[in-house]
Chains A and B, each alone.
Chain A
Amino acid sequence: MDEYALIMRHEDGMKVASPEQLQIWMKQTMDWIGGIAAQNKFVSGTGLPFENARVVDSRKMVTNGPFGDIKETIGGLIVVRAASVEEAVEFAKGCPVLQGDGNTVEVRKIAKDDGIH
């Protein structure tokens, strides 16, 4: 069993949602994660709030970010256990973030600490 990170990307993190909409998203996300955990496939995860986000560039310049020029932002990530990348992709398909146009979930295998990867 390998571990995969599911990285949720938002087209536009600044888009303001209504409190009701936020509540629905929250519930959907919690149910989505709960469903993965109920299959004993959940490893870890965290939301990444946009509030107080900063970007440090190569000149050590700090900007309030990651907005502005960058269109896509990372909204959160979870790590799941899966037998194959296909299984991890099936989990990703259930992610409520995908209800937003242009949003994506990136599926990446976690490098094993086995000296090969």
Chain B
Amino acid sequence: MPRTDSQLLPHLFRTEFGKITSVLAKHFHLRHIEVAEDIASETFLEAAETWPYHGVPENPTAWLYAVAKNKARNALKRISLFEEKIKSELNAPTDISAWDEIDLSADGIQDSQLRMLFALSHPALPPESQVALCLRILCGFGIDEIASAFLTNKETINKRLVRAREKLRTEKLTLDLPDESALVSRLDNVLTTLYLLFSEGYYSETRSALVDEDLCEEAIRLAKILVEVKSTNLPQVHALLALMYFQSSRLKARIGSDGDVVLYHHQDESLWNREYISLGGYHLNLASTGNRLTKYHLEASIAFWHTVREDTKEKWESILQLYNRLLQLEYSPIAALNRTYALSKANGLEEAIAEAQKLQLTTNRYYHSLLGELHGTIDTRKALAYFSEALRLSKSPAEKTSIEKKIDALQRRPAAIKR
């Protein structure tokens, strides 16, 4: 895509910040991760200050790498002087010496990002910190952007990042990859982090569509690093990628002309991203080997069925059985509610209503929306009661609007007027 000069730098920031930081972190170790981040930031600042006067260099990326390398060497000199004199014993165990050549080749970058991904997904870090650090270090998100991604303020994010960096130090985390025996279980942590990152983008309701798309794209980009490396090119990673491609294929169709959320049944199918749907299929195929069935396999298969618009018996029966298995593997309220919706399509409304009432999710607004939906055609009065409760529990304006629309439609029905 051709970009104007003013668009170039923000674009490069997004794509290169994480690469530079990851590579430099190998030399500064995780306990000095903020130095690596600072050098990457200063590099872009220098570009912003000099490019307007001297023109954009012929190879902007190479320019950034060269400047970052220089700055890193200077910083390393200062730090090593300090550490030699004061605390020489502090050298954390790692297979990379600070003075090795700073490797910003494609392989070097990939290796660094992979190590960083594993380090930031360490179970010692709380999940929300993992995602925040990932966004900051690997995706080059600014504090503002992370704050809007988490629907919170800058201060909260700053505190979270400070605490997370402290944890990196106190837990003495390194950028060493886990050995082969621990790799698969640690990979599960990495997948969880990427899944959280993706969900943060996909399931939010009150953010700008742009941020959502960025978060989903970043999760996909990082997952792709995993399948490019032999030791982590495993079926469960392909399953997660398939899930992310299938889901993101509908991102554009989800946003209405006035910024409101367009529900699945009302989406304009021509806005579905066909390329993503076929990429999802490609990765689901690659996921279908080995003998470990993960929740990503099940969720990807469910997501696949949602790319089939037509309501067939086979579709809903398949989705129901996938949810049945998913819930056995890992319970979540949203899966329980979706399973009940699939049940209504496969086995009928009556059975689904009976099962829904057993779910005991009375404080969950989606629970009331689901029951409202299920009662819609059989008992308008009850449907209205459920939707009113959902409205009371909902927080975001977009969600309130969509529930109000449903209530409005129900009240217009002749059956409702009679009562």
Interface residues of chain A, those whose CB is within 8 Å of chain B, are: 27, 30-31, 33-35, 37-40, 42, 45
Contacts and interface: CB of A to CB of B under 8 A. Distances in A.
- What are the nearest 7 A-B pairs in CB distance? A34-B324, A37-B327, A38-B336, A40-B331, A37-B328, A30-B324, A38-B339
Given A31-B343, A31-B347, A37 B360 contact: no
Nearest to B317: A27
A34 B328 contact: yes
Contacts of B325: 30, 34
Nearest to B354: A35
A30 B343 CA distance: 12
Given A38-B323, A38-B355, A39-B336, 8 more contacts: A30-B321, A34-B323, A37-B324, A38-B331, A38-B336, A38-B358, A42-B331, A45-B328
Contact of B359 (A30, A31, A38): A38
Nearest to A78: B328
Point out which of A33, A34, A40 has the most chain B C-beta atoms below 10 A from its C-beta: A34
A76 to B, nearest CB: 14
Contacts of B339: 34, 38
20 contacts: A27-B321, A30-B321, A31-B343, A33-B324, A34-B321, A34-B339, A35-B355, A37-B324, A37-B327, A38-B331, A38-B336, A38-B358, A39-B336, A39-B358, A39-B360, A40-B331, A40-B336, A42-B327, A42-B331, A45-B328
Interface string B356-378: 00111000000000000000000
A1 to B, nearest CB: 13
B349 to A, nearest CB: 15
A38 B340 CA distance: 8
B327 A34 contact: yes
Given A30-B321, A40-B336, A35 B328 contact: no
Task: Classify the interface of chain A: helix, strand, loop or mixed.
Answer: helix
A42 B347 CA distance: 21
A28 to B, nearest CB: 10
Interface residues of B, number: 19
B139 interface: no
Contact of B328 (A27, A31, A33): A33
Given A34-B320, A34-B339, A42 B328 contact: yes
A55 B215 CA distance: 57
B40 to A, nearest CB: 44
Nearest to A43: B328
A45 B324 CA distance: 13
B177 to A, nearest CB: 33
Interface in B291-332: 317, 320-321, 323-325, 327-328, 331
A27 to B, nearest CB: 8
Contacts of A42: 327-328, 331
Contacts of B324: 30-31, 33-34, 37
Contacts of A31: 320, 324, 343, 347
Contacts of B355: 35, 38
Nearest to B324: A34
Contacts of A39: 336, 358-360
B331 to A, nearest CB: 4
A31 B355 CA distance: 11
Contacts of B335: 38
A49 B30 CA distance: 53
A37 B317 CA distance: 17
Contacts of A40: 331, 336
Contacts of A30: 321, 324-325
B358 A35 contact: yes
Nearest to A29: B324
